A and B are shown apart, each in its own frame.
Chain A
Amino acid sequence: GAGVSQSPSNKVTEKGKDVELRCDPISGHTALYWYRQSLGQGLEFLIYFQGNSAPDKSGLPSDRFSAERTGGSVSTLTIQRTQQEDSAVYLCASSSRLAGYETQYFGPGTRLLVL
């Protein structure tokens, strides 16, 4: 597609349930990032993929969070046993290091609300 897409756009879940968030990057972009943004706050880095591998998982808040990327394209972020503090907007961005510099293009985000 023309831009980064994410699904679902909104997700309401009950505490303790698992959720899966999807990101479809710009075609040909090798790098993919997941961020979290709580209301009124800056971006919090979660994880970064180069191709299918994740050289930097340092931002994942706990072992309840995991992410994978297959085929160098679509990525899923899974949150197990959700907690209320997981409520936030989850943003995905992709970039291409083949460009002269790296500009991250963001998807519209998934708004997660844990009740």
Chain B
Amino acid sequence: DAGVTQSPTHLIKTRGQQVTLRCSPKSGHDTVSWYQQALGQGPQFIFQYYEEEERQRGNFPDRFSGHQFPNYSSELNVNALLLGDSALYLCASSFSSPIEAFFGQGTRLTVV
């Protein structure tokens, strides 16, 4: 089992650009959640996808959007990048009921 995989591992973008991050969940998991972790902080919940629908959303602007595909993989899109969007973006997968969440290694996004 490959676990949760994220791509790319590192990314540098210019302010105002758009970025897409990708996540493949652990085998058998149908729910994908995305988190943003700023330096020195705990991860903050962005949104959660289940059955290809956004099921819940945290306190993030509409510039943050996502998608879940029929194979349960997911994308996180961020438009009009700001310097403050620089962070480690973490993907977590789980079953739809609230049991153990497994995280990927993260994507380090740097906005310059």
Say whether A and B bind each other. no
Q: Which B residues form the contact surface with A (CB < 8 A)?
A: none
A residues near B (Cβ < 8 Å) are none
